[in-house]
């Protein structure tokens, strides 16, 4: 529509030029001027058509460029969403690793504290058992010494007493021991059980 309007204007200009030159006696010159004006108008029309075609191609190129830009932005947005999702996943994994690291560090700290404590408790237990064993040995020896001392004192008292309680009196006759025929044959034997 724009092109046809321009073409009409140019044609009117050409006709106006021809009319302004007037009607001269020489028809050749008028026809030549008219021919030049028509050629100029045709060239201008062709240039206008070419410009319109170039404008359409530019508009189509701009439209394709806008569509490509919109598609690129859409892809970029999708990539950003994917990247954010991956970053969130990496963040969660990092948090899990940090929690596991803290748990392992706590276990190591507990184990490192338990080692010396257990060693100290084991050493204290060994010392306590050793002291207890030595203590029991000392008291058992003392008890045995007391019993031996008590028995010795009791025996001495019995021997020195006029009226012994456990031993037979001195005036009692000793029981004579006669040898049995079995005793004369060898070492003493135990009586049969039964």
Q: What angle do CA 182, 185, 190 make, to 5 degrees?
A: 50
Give the pLDDT of residue 169: 61
pLDDT in tens, 77-114: 999 999 999 999 999 999 999 999 999 888 888 777 87
**Percent of the chain whose pLDDT exceeds 70:** 72
Q: Which residue has the higher pLDDT, 157 or 59?
A: 59
- List the structure tokens of 144: 């045995």
Cβ neighbourhood burial of 1 (10 Å; 0-12, 13-18, 19+): exposed
Domain boundaries, the chain: 2-159
**Backbone phi, psi, residue 126, to 5°:** -65, -45
Q: What angle do CA 81, 85, 88 make, to 5 degrees?
A: 135
The Cα 41–Cα 14 span in angstroms is 7
**Confidence category of residue 11, pLDDT binned at 50, 70, 90:** confident
Most confident region among 65-79, 111-125, 149-163 by mean pLDDT: 65-79
What global pTM score does this model have? 0.35
**Backbone phi, psi, residue 115, to 5°:** -55, -60
Determine the 3-state secondary structure of 191 from DSSP. coil
């Amino acid at each position: 529509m724009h092109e046809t309007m321009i073409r009409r204007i140019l044609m009117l200009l050409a006709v106006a030029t021809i009319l302004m030159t007037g009607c001269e006696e020489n028809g050749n010159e008028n026809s030549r001027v008219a021919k030049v004006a028509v050629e100029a108008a045709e060239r201008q029309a062709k240039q206008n058509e070419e410009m319109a075609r170039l404008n359409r191609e530019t508009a189509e190129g701009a439209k394709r460029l806008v569509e490509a830009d919109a598609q690129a932005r859409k892809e970029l947005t999708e990539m950003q969403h994917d990247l954010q999702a991956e970053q969130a996943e990496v963040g969660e994994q990092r948090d899990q690793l940090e929690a596991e690291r803290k748990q392992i560090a706590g276990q190591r700290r507990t184990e490192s504290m338990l080692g010396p404590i257990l060693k100290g408790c084991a050493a204290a237990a060994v010392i306590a058992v050793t002291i207890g064993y030595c203590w029991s040995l000392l008291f058992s020896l003392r008890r045995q010494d007391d019993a031996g001392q008590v028995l010795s004192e009791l025996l001495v008292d019995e021997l020195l007493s006029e009226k012994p309680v456990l031993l037979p009196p001195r005036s009692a006759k000793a029981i004579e021991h006669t040898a049995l025929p079995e005793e004369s044959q060898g070492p003493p034997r135990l009586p049969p059980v039964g």
